[in-house]
Amino acid sequence: MSKKTSEPTKDVILTENDSYVIEHYGTKTGAEFCEELNIESKDYKGITSKLSKAWLIPTALVKKKIEAKARLEEAKAKKEGNVYTNSNGLNKQLGRDIVVNEIRDSGIVGTVLSLPFEECIFEHQLLDRVCKEFDFVGVEEHRQTYYNLLQTVINDKIKMSCNLGKFLETVKNSKRDQYAHIFADFCGQADSYLEDIKLIIKNKLVQVGGTIAITFTNRNSSKDSVIRVMNELNPIGVNKGNAVEKGVLTYLNKISKTNYAIVKTFSYKDDGQQGMVLFVLKRVK
């Protein structure tokens, strides 16, 4: 007999019926769902079973599993720590505003790949300020934050498929034109994520007209950093900003060629936090 998993299924593909059940679960009976969706009872049970296994509807079992997992992972989470502490910074929010405005101006609506953290602030902002038609693929590496993210998705009824693991793994498993936009809010040193960015850009994961937003720290990189090499290739004074910003711009220009335009850069720092720099690219062909 196969062992039942106690963790949510990864890479869940949601149908229109799935999304409808998620949105209205707890407000309608099973019979009402069957009538409105024109499906049989066995089909409805199949949908709820799938969504329950993915922890996308707040069944009693799902809530119990999340609470149990949270308790079991608490000690480990505290030990490992999640170093991201600036989800509500004023200038952090200004960065999100820039990304949301670029997405709004693009006119492209669809699936957004993001690093949502547990509060889904960016996702809520996009849905509230642009339109409700976006859905999301959210990636989180830190286990406790991931479980908190799942609870937010359930409570707030966000149309999001949640992946536990490294962002790079989701990028590797993504296809050309799969996303309307990507918000890679890494908030770490650029050298740690250059492979992610290279694959996103070269594999053209966003549609033509879609945006790629990337956030890195403005911290100086190591002696053998790729960013330092980029600065050696870059003539003095061509790009504005500090060494990290200049190096990243050179790298982005080098790998994006004529397929993308760098439309925004934004350096910011909130009190007591590491300085950050946001880059926004738009796919033009």
191 and 247 in a common domain: yes
> Are 170 and 265 in a shared domain?
yes
Domain end (from 80, 106, 129):
80
Residue 239 clears pLDDT 60, i.e. is over it: no
SS3 call for 74: helix
Whole-angstrom distance between the N-terminal and C-terminal Cα of the chain?
A: 51
65 and 153 co-located in one domain: no
Can you give the CATH number for the domain in which 136 is found? 3.40.50.150
Position 13 pLDDT exceeds 90: no
Tens of pLDDT along 261-279? 999 999 998 877 888 999 9
Within-domain flag for 189:
yes
pLDDT at res. 274? 82
- What is the side-by-side order of every strand in the sheet holding 135-140? 160-164, 135-140, 111-114, 179-188, 206-217, 276-283, 260-268
What share of the chain has pLDDT > 70, as a percent? Answer: 79
Residue 148 lies in a domain: yes
Are 38 and 141 members of one domain? no
Residue 6 lies in a domain: no
Spatial distance between the Cα atoms of 145 and 156, rounded to a whole number of angstroms? 16
| Nearest of 136, 57, 122 to residue 94 by alpha carbon | 122
Shared domain for 59 and 138, answered yes or no, is no
- For 146-194, how does the pLDDT look when each residue is reduced to its tens digit (9 = 90+)? 999 999 999 999 999 999 999 999 999 999 999 999 999 998 888 889 8
**Considering the entire predicted model, what is its pTM?**
0.70
pLDDT bracket for residue 235 (50, 70, 90) = low
For the cut 50, the answer to whether the pLDDT of residue 234 exceeds it is: yes
What integer is the mean pLDDT of 39-66?
81
Q: Give me the pLDDT at residue 72, please.
A: 60
pLDDT score recorded for residue 5:
40
Same domain? 159 vs 263: yes
Tokens 């079973």 identify what position? 49
* 41 and 182 inside one domain: no
Q: Are residues 179 and 263 in the same domain?
A: yes
Which domain does 199 fall in, by range?
90-283
Q: Which residue has the tokens 């879609």?
A: 210
Which residue from 138, 145, 150, 148 is spatially nearest to 111, judged by alpha carbons? Answer: 138
Task: Between 1 and 124, name the one with better pLDDT.
Answer: 124
How many independent structural domains does the chain possess?
Answer: 2
State the chain's mean pLDDT as an integer: 84
Considering only residues 208 and 16, tell me which one the structure prediction assigns the higher pLDDT: 208
Residue 3 has what DSSP assignment? P
85 within a domain of the structure (yes/no): no
Q: By percentage, how much of the chain surpasses pLDDT 90?
A: 53
Q: How far is CA 9 from CA 54, 55, 150, 164, 257, in A?
A: 5, 8, 12, 9, 37
Say if 275 falls within a structural domain.
yes
pLDDT(249) > 60 = yes
pLDDT of residue 77: 45
User: What pLDDT, in 10s, does the model give residues 86-129?
Assistant: 677 788 999 999 999 999 999 999 999 999 988 999 999 999 99
130 and 181: one domain?
A: yes
Q: What is the pLDDT of residues 68-80, one digit of tens each?
A: 655 565 455 444 4
Do 95 and 231 fall within a single domain? yes
Burial class (CB in 10 A: 0-12, 13-18, 19+), 5: exposed
